[in-house]
Amino acid sequence: MTARNTGDDQHQDGRATLEQLVRWRRDVRRFRTDPVPDDLVERLLRLADLAPSVGNSQPWRIVNVRSRDVRSAIVRNFEAVRGKSAEVYAGEQAELYYRLKLAGFDAAPVHLAVFCDRNALQGHGLGRQTMPETLDHSCACMVTVLWLAAREAGLGLGWVSIIDPAEVSKALDVPPDWKLVGYLLIGWPEEEHLDPELQRHGWQPRTPFEARYSVAGSVPPAVETKAAAKADSVSGSVVLVGAGPGDPELLTIKALKALQSADAVLFDDLVAKPILDFVRPGARMIDVGKRGYRKSCKQPDINAMMVSLAREGLKVVRLKSGDPLIFGRAGEEIEACRDAGVPISVIPGVTSAQGAAASLKVSLTNRDHARRLQFITAHDRRGHLPSDIDWSAVADGAATTVIYMPKRTLAELTEVALVHGLDPKTPTIAVANATRPDERVFVSTVGAIATELEAAHPDGPVLVMVGEALRYATVRDAAEQAEAVLAALQVLPGQP
């Protein structure tokens, strides 16, 4: 069973699509030391052994290098060859060469040496009389299949080529007719990226597809000047679109038009699924959700993907829950596009504070109780409570404070706010899944809201609103809401 759109989204059963595997295939040089089960390694190798080969020759020969002594010899060989290779570079490029991590010998738990048997009898020589190098090509096909299979299993693969083939063959004592194709390192990646490491560290950016494609009789494929000109041109664009807090009817007309004309949509995990139904059929759907405190897509990868897709000439929509400019990391994405010369625009959306206030029918800026409305985030880049919050502003009884992303640090935040003078009986409302069918409202006080929210443990995005203006909030069941407010504030009917 597959998802609605073809592209980088996952299958509905959780498996990655082919396009996703290709985009995440990246050469890995930073591994965790966790072992890879032998049965998993064997399964991957058996899958790779099904790779196509010219004349069904299957010329690859794979040696699993488990001996520590042999590994050490190969590492010494790598270091020696790497030093000689550096001699061809000068200046800044030489310095960068030495800074690059070009191998992962120290941590990768699986080492495989791949050879091509130049005298393979399998296939009876079909296709080799005119192009004997097809044996090497067939081995490369096998490695690619292994690469994709490893990625599908969550593993990373590094292909080491800075190595002396003769020394590796000698260390492994293989037949003289075996030619080294590559030394492969496999393991659990320490980190995952969508862009090539050499591009990320400034060695060489990827060039556009057009630099490697031509039609017979037109532009020769090897004209580097024209390819370079193509590399500097950008025919696509990026637009940051606010999806609102969840109710699809809160989308702006401009946002709707952008979704219906998009070639690719990079959407956050918090974007309500009904909103995705408005995307043009056939557009690439790419889930880049940054899931709090869980393994997720990193911001530099999202930036790189936006730029890459735009350089393919696509209309790219970066779809964000709420408003892109309110705690949505829009600044980093705008800067990445500007630095790459990619045209970028922003379509604002209804932020979750506005959606929640509308559901509660409360004015966050009630002039009798609030002279200021302030939005704060409850966690920093590390997921901790920010150390630079202006606590005097939070404790101001004449302000309405909306706290974004508070689940993990709300208890700490409210405790510090109370220490700085915030009245513990200040009306406080938490809203989970604002404007959505499963919206949940928790009416309390600032002194008790953290405990109540922890006990309820609501799913989905949550925000917390604090301030006297909230005393007049209403929800769908007015009677139930009134009782909750009275109970939370310990006020009896008839009292002023």
∠ CA(266), CA(270), CA(273), 5° rounding?
Answer: 75
Whether the per-residue pLDDT at 218 is higher than 80: the answer is no
State mean pLDDT over 422-444: 94
Reported for 441-446, long-range contacts at CB under 8 A and 24+ positions apart, including other chains, are: 441/359, 441/360, 441/475, 441/481, 443/473, 443/481, 443/484, 443/485, 443/488, 444/488, 445/488, 445/489, 446/414, 446/417, 446/418, 446/422
Model confidence at 342, pLDDT cuts 50, 70, 90, reads very high
The active-site residue, picked from 305, 306, 405, 465, is 405
What pLDDT was estimated at residue 223? 47
Predicted local distance difference test score (pLDDT) of residue 55 = 87
Average pLDDT over residues 147-162: 91
* Letter string b/e over residues 210-234, b meaning 16 or more CB atoms within 10 A of that residue's CB: bbeeeeeeeeeeeeeeebeebbeeb
As given in the structure block, the two tokens for residue 71 are 């590994």
pLDDT tens per residue across span 163-208: 999 999 999 999 999 999 999 999 998 876 666 677 666 677 667 7
User: What per-residue confidence (pLDDT) applies to 233?
Assistant: 53
DSSP string, 326-350: TTS-HHHHHHHHHHTT--EEEE---
Mean pLDDT is lowest, of 128-132, 143-147, 344-348, 445-449, for 128-132
Question: Could you tell me the pLDDT band of residue 98, with boundaries at 50, 70 and 90?
Answer: confident
Q: Nearest 10 degrees: CA dihedral of 89, 90, 95, 100?
A: -10
Which pTM does this prediction carry? Answer: 0.59
The tokens for 223 are 């004209």
pLDDT band, residue 225 (cuts 50/70/90): very low
Q: What is the mean pLDDT of residues 66-94?
A: 87
Q: 80 versus 199: which is more confidently predicted?
A: 80
Contact of 251 with 244, CB cutoff 8 Å = yes
117 in active site: no
Does position 430 have pLDDT exceeding 60, yes or no? yes
State the catalytic residue, choosing from 230, 254, 290, 298.
290
pLDDT-derived band at 133, boundaries 50, 70, 90: confident
What b/e readout covers 296-335, taking b as 16+ CB neighbours within 10 angstroms? ebeeebbbbbbbbbbbbebbbbbbbbbbbbbbbbbeebbe
DSSP-assigned beta bridge partners for residue 372? 399
Residue 194: predicted pLDDT = 63
Q: Which residue has the higher pLDDT, 19 or 263?
A: 263
Domains of the chain: 27-191 (3.40.109.10), 234-350 (3.40.1010.10), 353-489 (3.30.950.10)
Alpha helix ranges (H) inside 153-279: 165-172, 197-200, 224-232, 253-260, 273-276
Q: Provide the 10 A C-beta neighbour count for residue 96.
A: 14
Q: How far is CA 415 from CA 17, 316, 397, 409, 462, in A?
A: 46, 43, 16, 10, 19
320 is catalytic: no
Percent helix, percent strand, percent coil in the chain, to nearest 5 = 35, 15, 45
- 3-class state of residue 187 by DSSP: strand
Q: What is the mean pLDDT of the chain?
A: 84
Q: Which residue did the predictor score with more confidence, 1 or 108? A: 108
pLDDT grade for 72, boundaries at 50, 70 and 90: very high
268 assigned to active site: yes
What is the predicted pLDDT for the residue at 41?
96
Helix (H/G/I), strand (E/B), else coil: 219: coil
Closest CA to 354 of 291, 294, 435: 435
Q: Ramachandran region of residue 193, left (φ > 0), alpha (ψ -120 to 50) or beta? A: beta
Lowest mean pLDDT, pick from 174-178, 207-211, 268-272: 207-211
Structure tokens at 99: 């800074």
Count CA atoms closer than 13 A to 39's CA, side-chain side: 0
Sign of CA dihedral 423, 427, 430, 434: negative
| Beta pairing, strands 427-432 & 399-404 | unpaired
User: Is residue 434 scored above 70 in pLDDT?
Assistant: yes
- What confidence score (pLDDT) does residue 58 get? 92
pLDDT digits (tens, 9 = 90+) for 53-66: 988 899 999 999 99
How do residues 288-324 score in pLDDT, each as one tens digit? Answer: 876 544 456 788 889 988 998 898 888 999 999 999 9
Three-point CA angle 106, 109, 111, nearest 5°: 90
Read off the pLDDT of each residue in 241-259 and give the average, rounded to a whole number: 95
Question: Which among 268, 287, 301, 323 is annotated as catalytic?
Answer: 268
What's the pLDDT score for residue 2?
28
Which region among 37-46, 210-219, 258-267 has the lowest average model confidence (pLDDT)? 210-219
